[in-house]
Structure 1
């Protein structure tokens, strides 16, 4: 009989959280600040906004589209090797970007290679935390993904400083050196022994597609990422278009990073409280953030944009902090990796089309007003899709409260039966 790893919710599990924190800092710190590079590429290559937008939007899009490949790698190689592989290949992507002669080459090096590499490292990071935690999963996930907020805070001014001193090509080389630290993060991840992970040996369990709640979460993520892509990629250029200087325009993205950091910690702690409905909190967060993006379309001052950017940062924390625990609740821990991989494809599609659609709308109308209105509306609509999981999961929770029980097998091991999950524990730890 095999028992649950003693590190679950304690001991080395918190080292995994630290590793995941720095992995998120690097991956999303760069991916969510591609709007800074977007402004640089516009000036360097003199292409239209829709053409230039693809270079920036491909990176976060490929991060998510890499989901199935990352799931396969994790199921075969484990989280440790997958993250280290992502660190090596992302460095290669940045080094190749340094020598890009035109924007088209950057599509491949900066967008696709680096994006896919970050996707592998990111999925390994969030999967490791999910596997290592049960009781404190919301808090652990919240702490781990605060790396996104910290990264979004420090990378915009860092990238701008590197470009000023070393040019954008030199900055690419230095970012490659930074991304190599993902290998260090991966080295800290130890394999975890969990019996329920043996239920599914494949990286993609087809039974998850029978769940309506899973499809609703997929639609939610597509619309959320569509709006996120518009905001992150075009906010700097939009502010400059409104007369805000470049330095303060870049600070708007840093403002999102600060508020997102606070939001991720707060949502992780709030979701951990007894009686708090995680899906309801998630639903409300994107309703508010969608309104904030739509309001940006009517604001032209730095102060007004900064207020909306701060609100946007706080409430968009939900997708990083709450989506993984919600997915684990919907599919079960044994289908998490495959489910997260497929969810990443849907998210990546939203990321891929959001930025270029906004750029195309600007090229046609010569204003970002309609772009940000569309982005805000898409995020508000994303909340509506979560009404179905909210109602269904609440009903299931009420049923499980009455059915949950403890049973003993022939070896006197305690097994807690809840829904379709069975967790076996030694009597000394039950």
Structure 2
């Protein structure tokens, strides 16, 4: 099994120290980024009645927000590469807060699409990507554990925001709640303040190539050769690394993710509405999200610890493939759950599956491309993934509108995750095999070149006495 990609940095990450404060800041930033769109589902039923909207129309609110969060990835990558994580996260916090405050004065569903979806979503993209990137700057050996702890921010915040949103709605209505949430999300600015730029201590030797691209020396965008900077593509490449589209492992990751994201968010978005459809009271429906989030909260750091072990880390792509397929299996079996007790069981198993996938989602990407290329890799991935993120929940909502039943939606989401899980497992097997063969060929070539050089030196040494005698 070939090793994971090195960090490709010009210094040795500290793996601790202020890095743990950075992890805490990322915990807050990631928590808001992923939990905020899901927690707003508490207001769906009431907003739907207020605007006389369908399930599909109301699902567009979170869908647009998540899609904008993903679509803003390349812009966020460029800003992070140029200015660092701290200012980008702080600007993102201000954008989300402003979008929520503006949405509290909305008079149409379109107003929510723009303020919550587009403005808020782009603000979340400025929170998510920098928080993921800076962890790779501070950690190398303990990176899976640090990523797992930071990603745990999502379930922690979701378990808090779900009941809080129900309380805010009962006390202030959805307009007052959105106004309060706008101020609450400004805490992302505090999280950004913790993301201090790392003090670089240069290494003695240059960094080596990334996994999946043997022998290809990594450079930062500002350090590329003039030949690479010529032309439009070269200028773009100074800000975001387009050569990743030649990276085999990265392309496998993208194909699997594009399919799985069609069924990734919808089961969470519709969990509370599904419970209400089954005549479960509002607080019990909100409690399902809290149970899901509580299990998810523990699953993510535990997954990070498991992924950091010497048995799993070299095979982490398989671990990720299993987590995707496990999510799909949970959704396929969900319609078999009967009553509130059955939904609780589903929420527990789904929480484990979702936590595993989220803890590994970006760690396996960094494992493939290395920390130096990660900012560009995640930016390009999110812009491609924004289409299924945008379309997934509305398509699922349309299935509910069509059949007046949630089970077909859960079947569809299950299949959309089972298929890429199997695909990723098979393709990662072949990718690992091909990487091993390429590494072996590269080693043989180096041995042959070294043997040729030694033979040349030996011949030169043998001929030298004859030249001296002559």
Same fold (TM over 0.5): yes
Q: Give the direction of change, closer, same or farther, for the CA distance of 1:286–1:158 in structure 2 (3 Å limit).
A: same
Which segment drifts farther, 323-332 or 133-142? 323-332
How far apart, in 1, do the equivalents of 2:307 and 2:85 lie?
26
Q: CA deviation at 1:216?
A: 1.8
How far apart, in 2, do the equivalents of 1:325 and 1:299 lie?
33
> Is contact 1:239-1:300 (8 Å) kept?
no
> Is contact 1:267-1:321 (8 Å) kept?
yes
Matching residue of 1:389: 428
Q: Give the direction of change, closer, same or farther, for the CA distance of 1:72–1:351 in structure 2 (3 Å limit).
A: same
Alignment coverage as a number of residue pairs: 402
Q: CA deviation at 1:4?
A: 5.2
> Is contact 2:86-2:196 (8 Å) kept?
yes
Matching residue of 1:263: 299
> Is contact 1:221-1:346 (8 Å) kept?
no
- For the residue of structure 2 that corresponds to 1:386, the secondary structure is helix
The 5-angstrom pairing of residues 53-202 of structure 1 reads: 53-192=59-198, 193=200, 198-201=219-222, 202=238
> Is contact 2:12-2:201 (8 Å) kept?
no
Matching residue of 2:308: 272
- For the residue of structure 2 that corresponds to 1:189, the secondary structure is coil
Unmatched 5+ residue regions in structure 1? 405-430
Q: CA deviation at 1:93?
A: 0.4
Matching residue of 2:340: 302
Structure 2 residue 365 is the aligned partner of structure 1 residue 327:
yes
Matching residue of 1:425: none
| TM-score of the pair, normalised by structure 2 | 0.81
The 5-angstrom pairing of residues 227-246 of structure 1 reads: 227-246=263-282
> Is contact 1:33-1:155 (8 Å) kept?
yes
Q: Give the direction of change, closer, same or farther, for the CA distance of 1:30–1:351 in structure 2 (3 Å limit).
A: same
> Is contact 1:38-1:56 (8 Å) kept?
no
How far apart, in 2, do the equivalents of 1:131 and 1:218 lie?
23
How far apart, in 1, do the equivalents of 2:260 and 2:78 lie?
25
> Is contact 1:7-1:13 (8 Å) kept?
no
Q: What whole-Å deviation, never above 9, does each CA across 1:23-79 have from its counterpart, x for those lacking one?
A: 122222212223223223222212111111111211122111211111111112210
Matching residue of 1:219: 255
How far apart, in 1, do the equivalents of 2:256 and 2:175 lie?
37
Matching residue of 2:234: none
How far apart, in 1, do the equivalents of 2:370 and 2:221 lie?
11
Q: CA deviation at 1:356?
A: 0.5
Bigger Rg over Cα: 2
How far apart, in 1, do the equivalents of 2:102 and 2:417 lie?
35
The 5-angstrom pairing of residues 366-377 of structure 1 reads: 366-377=404-415
Q: What whole-Å deviation, never above 9, does each CA across 1:278-297 have from its counterpart, x for those lacking one?
A: 11111111211111111122
Q: Give the direction of change, closer, same or farther, for the CA distance of 1:116–1:191 in structure 2 (3 Å limit).
A: same
> Is contact 1:83-1:186 (8 Å) kept?
yes
How far apart, in 1, do the equivalents of 2:22 and 2:399 lie?
43
> Is contact 2:73-2:378 (8 Å) kept?
yes
Q: Give the direction of change, closer, same or farther, for the CA distance of 1:369–1:209 in structure 2 (3 Å limit).
A: same
Q: Give the direction of change, closer, same or farther, for the CA distance of 1:240–1:401 in structure 2 (3 Å limit).
A: farther
How far apart, in 2, do the equivalents of 1:398 and 1:308 lie?
43
Q: CA deviation at 1:298?
A: 2.8
Matching residue of 2:448: none
> Is contact 2:38-2:268 (8 Å) kept?
yes
How far apart, in 1, do the equivalents of 2:13 and 2:304 lie?
21
| Equivalent residue in structure 2 for 1:336, among 371, 374, 380 | 374
Q: Give the direction of change, closer, same or farther, for the CA distance of 1:194–1:170 in structure 2 (3 Å limit).
A: farther
